[in-house]
Amino acid sequence: MTKQILQIENTNNEDFKNEILLGLEHLLSQYEKNTQNSEKLLTREETAKLLSISLVTLWKYTKNDIIPAFRIGTKVRYKQSDVYNALQKMNEFD
C-alpha cells in the first residue's frame, strides 16, 4: 500500500476548514435535490397499512380512481405523495 501525501500551502487552518464545509454543504444540497425527485413507491400492503384499510378497500379506491396506482410488470405500486394527496382530499369538507 502506497502512502499518499497532500501538501497545502498558502492557506491557514480556518480558511481550509471553511472550504471543506462549503464543499460538504454543496454536496448535501445536491443530494437533497436528487432525493426529492425520486419518490418512494409503496406496495399494496404498505399502502393499506398506511391508511389502516383492507386490501379490498384499497382495491376499491384504486378502481374508483380515488388513489392512482401504477403497474410495474405484475406488481401494483402507489406513489407516497398520491396516497397523502388522496387522503387529504377524502378529509376535505365541502
Contact 44, 58 (CB under 8 A): yes
Residue 11 counted as domain residue: no
Residue 5 counted as domain residue: no
Contact 70, 77 (CB under 8 A): yes
Domain tally, the chain: 1
CA distance 10 to 21: 18
For position 55, what pLDDT does the model report?
96
Residue 57 counted as domain residue: yes
Residue 36 counted as domain residue: no
Residue 50 counted as domain residue: yes
C-alpha 27: how far from its chain's center? 17
Residue 72 counted as domain residue: yes
58: containing domain: 41-90
For position 94, what pLDDT does the model report?
57
Q: Which grid coordinates belong to 12?
A: 491557514
pLDDT tens digits, 1-26: 788 887 778 888 898 888 889 989 98
pLDDT tens digits, 15-74: 888 888 998 998 888 877 766 656 789 999 999 999 999 999 999 999 999 999 999 999
**Whole-structure pTM value:** 0.57
Q: Which long-range contacts (CB under 8 A, 24 or more apart) does 58-66 make?
A: 61/86, 66/90
Residue 4 counted as domain residue: no
